[in-house]
Structure 1
């Protein structure tokens, strides 16, 4: 098993890997099928609402340069270990790419200094992934963005909101959030809220008399790339395509320039690197909810 295969891939909690074969991929995002109706005379075929959503692939790399003498004189294998860690870096980068996309969900263009700086990060409907005015066909207007601090009541309200999401045909979308994603600052709050059999919001005097209605109802995912200390997110990851798409044009490739190369001959430098081609993008907005706490 390679270092890449063995590394923990936390991004798979909320992202679906989709293989790409071109410089960009266009996803024909189809609406829901029509409702069943009583068949009285002839069938009544209806078209599907369609959004064309294009995700261009991008190039990413990580490289190191090592002096030839350092390798020749090195006794403890530390340089070799560092070069092998480049494979693990590819998995770490996938985590960073996916989880730093989440806070960009309040924007349509990536924020300055981020991995998505100046890039389009909007949802397939042209709005921010987390927005207060999503609407398609007969869905009505829905908001998957709140502003309440993390608590039992806030989670209950958010779950109820998500379960009321409708398709473009006006049918319930069948959303059932199963993951809460939080920054390290909210780790213990989230775990207490989810893993306490008694309602943690009731206080010490009445807690044992109140049932925690969200007990074990969500999986807590804590990710270090979420830097805001108060924001939290709910996702439904049980659909065929998860809330985030990780588009794979080329698998991470490890390469090196070592003995016999011009750089080694002229500068005594050996180079090691890993590169990858692909992209990350948002999927169906109904599968996510953000509470942006100000």
Structure 2
């Protein structure tokens, strides 16, 4: 192929189509566990995360919840992936060999939100959420029925590979995916570009802007204890007993057990076997949906 502007524009159009095909073929998992929040600037504030709404009997004046004292903010991050095609490959009509690469570029761009969101589950043991505590913590402050602060836990300690119980059916899911810019395909494909002059290569890439964060800790329970029926039951019960400020039940019911591949067998034994080893019924069978995420180890 001759190196000229018309041919290069046509080549970029084809590569862009390959990129879009790869991007569109991705079936992401993150949407089950994170609420997407559109972003219009470099960062977003979430002042309302410190209050879970709840209806009350209207006696006297309205009780206005203070949502102005939370400083939880999420700053968007830039993401990129870049590949090159040698000038000689185009001159020698070998540019078609790079079409799968452009498709893989789209695939990688489409999977980036999954990598981001699922990494947050592990980070939740050491990263603060809106209340100033780790997302998975033993000391989340909650007001009891008398208006006094008590500490509430959504974590089990241990040294095993982590696993998680989640309530994904609330209006706000356990995590937040803050989306500033969807993946776009770009090219440095002018014959006069410095990269062509210096290195004899044309550059193609994708970039996006987004970040992730933590929603309501009450909708997630993280454990590093061994995944056993007893620990599963304790975590499940702890979530169902959670209360909002002043003692109103939150009606949390876990619907997903999220594990990595290393915990798959233990998880299947708990929630996918109808009968136990002795033949008796397994009361945890089908209690939650099992989801195995490769990013959790």
* Aligned-partner SS, 1:188: helix
Q: Is the 8 A contact 1:166 1:172 kept in 2?
A: yes
Gaps of 5+ in 1: 109-121, 228-294
Residue matched to 1:32: 52
Q: Is the 8 A contact 1:181 1:222 kept in 2?
A: yes
* Aligned-partner SS, 2:242: coil
* Aligned-partner SS, 2:106: helix
Normalization by structure 2: what TM-score?
0.63
Alpha-carbon distance between aligned partners in 2 of 1:93 and 1:170, rounded to the nearest angstrom: 40
Residue matched to 2:260: 183
Normalization by structure 1: what TM-score?
0.64
C-alpha displacement at 1:4, in angstroms? 1.9
Alpha-carbon distance between aligned partners in 2 of 1:127 and 1:189, rounded to the nearest angstrom: 30
C-alpha displacement at 1:77, in angstroms? 3.2
Alpha-carbon distance between aligned partners in 2 of 1:13 and 1:80, rounded to the nearest angstrom: 31
Higher helix share: 2
Q: Is the 8 A contact 1:140 1:166 kept in 2?
A: no
Gaps of 5+ in 2: 1-19, 158-224
C-alpha displacement at 1:89, in angstroms? 0.6
Residue matched to 1:129: 135
Matched, 1:20 2:59: no
Superposition RMSD in Å: 2.1
Q: Is the 8 A contact 1:49 1:137 kept in 2?
A: no
Matched, 1:151 2:171: no
Q: Is the 8 A contact 2:22 2:103 kept in 1?
A: yes
CA 1:93–1:35: 2 relative to 1, 3 Å: closer
> For 1:28-66, what per-residue CA distance to the aligned partner results, in whole angstroms no more than 9, with x for missing partners?
2252346634x7xx5242221423421111111110122
Q: Which has the higher contact order (CA 8 A, sep 6+)?
A: 1
Please identify the structure whose Cα radius of gyration is greater: 2
